[in-house]
């Protein structure tokens, strides 16, 4: 039984690693994130400063290492849309998400047993 649990845990860790890698790749393939933070008429110096502050001036492998390190420490970064900490946004939405999940589970269970 312990071997089965460890096997499933290893599979879950592998899936999380692959998902994190795909998310990193898609975020870099979608374009320059610094363009979201700066106005169109910004100077080249401003653009370079934003790229440096976001770590986008580093090589891609260094960016990936920083991304995985921050992710392992629970640092999910800043939201581009809300310009605030992502962890705070998730914690703010968590009670409603749990309530919705429990309600859906209860409704599904009642109808599932009835059918």
CB-based contacts of 14: which residues, under 8 Å, 6+ apart?
Answer: none
| Global model pTM greater than 0.75 | no
Give me the pLDDT at residue 100, please. 97
User: Alpha carbon of 96 to those of 16, 85, 89, 108: distances in Å?
Assistant: 24, 19, 12, 18
pLDDT in tens, 67-112: 999 999 988 888 877 888 999 999 999 999 999 999 999 999 999 9
**pLDDT of amino acid 10:** 97
- How does pLDDT run across 58-67, given as a tens digit for each residue? 899 999 999 9
């Amino acid at each position: 039984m312990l071997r089965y649990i460890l096997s499933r845990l290893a599979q879950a860790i592998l899936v999380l690693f692959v998902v994190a890698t795909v998310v990193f790749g898609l975020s870099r393939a979608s374009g320059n994130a610094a363009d979201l933070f700066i106005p169109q008429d910004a100077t080249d110096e401003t653009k370079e400063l934003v790229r440096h502050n976001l770590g986008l001036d580093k090589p891609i492998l260094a960016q990936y290492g920083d991304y995985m390190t921050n992710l392992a420490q629970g640092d999910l970064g800043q939201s581009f849309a809300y310009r605030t900490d992502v962890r705070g946004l998730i914690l703010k939405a968590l009670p409603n998400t749990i309530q919705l999940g429990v309600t859906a589970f209860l409704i599904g269970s009642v109808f599932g047993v009835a059918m």
